[in-house]
Amino acid sequence: MSLEEAAAAVRTAAERVFGEHVDQAAGYVELLERHGVERGLIGPREVERLWERHVLNSAVIGEQMPQGARVVDVGSGAGLPGVPLAIARPDLDIVLLEPMARRVDWLAEVAEKLELPITIVRGRAEERPVREQHGGADIVTARAVAPLARLADWCLPLVRSDGFLVALKGASAAEEIERDGAAIRKAGGADPLIVECGAAVLKVPSTVVKIRRLPAATKPKARSRKR
């Protein structure tokens, strides 16, 4: 495939994923191209593949989210996957959670310039105030944050019962599930599922690990002592 054909394929995919909001998505890519490397948000090699490897890759996980879902994006960093999700799915109620002040500032700039109605919070998923204020989410997302064992421990407490942690992973997904299965169950998660997203539009679909938060176990009633 020539460079021109590859560029045309990306444009077609972007139009299918973002629809009438494709110009907003292009604005986000432009901001990353101009400022991403200098602000430590992306590596220099990523500039040429922002659409396929980052923006489209993130947006298509919206396939796993019901209409109007409350979503918390943990460790949002450059805004991935939260910003592409907010553009592709304006029906979602999205919180971007990020501990680093300079990245929080970046996210605020992006939200203002693109006019995105998202909430940006400085904090960590494991902090009590964050869990108290933003817990009960339908979906919690994470991309390139931590192995599944730690993600489950940090993120599942933010998920409502029968909600989901949707973690973007790559080829290591099956290996992580096998290694971290016990830790996931200990954190309150059901058996993980590997799901491909964007198969209809992307040459390489996004791989996510989807973990349902199990309802809290009902404690058995204490038996009364016979006298």
Structure tokens at 128: 């009590």
Alpha carbons 54 and 61: distance in angstroms, whole number: 12
Q: Is 131 among the annotated ligand-binding positions?
A: no
**pLDDT per position as a tens digit, 99-129:** 999 999 999 999 999 999 999 999 999 999 9
* Structural domains in the chain plus CATH codes: 3-212 (3.40.50.150)
Q: Is 75 among the annotated ligand-binding positions?
A: yes
Structure tokens at 186: 């200990």
**pLDDT per position as a tens digit, 14-65:** 999 999 999 999 999 999 999 999 999 999 999 988 998 999 999 999 999 9
Can you give the pTM of this predicted structure?
A: 0.91
Alpha carbons 148 and 31: distance in angstroms, whole number: 30
Length of the chain: 227
Structure tokens at 94: 């999205």
Please say if the pLDDT value at position 217 is more than 70: no
Structure tokens at 97: 């959670």
Q: Is 165 among the annotated ligand-binding positions?
A: no
pLDDT band for position 224 (cuts 50, 70, 90): very low
Indicate the burial class of 88 (C-beta count within 10 angstroms; 0-12, 13-18, 19 or more): buried
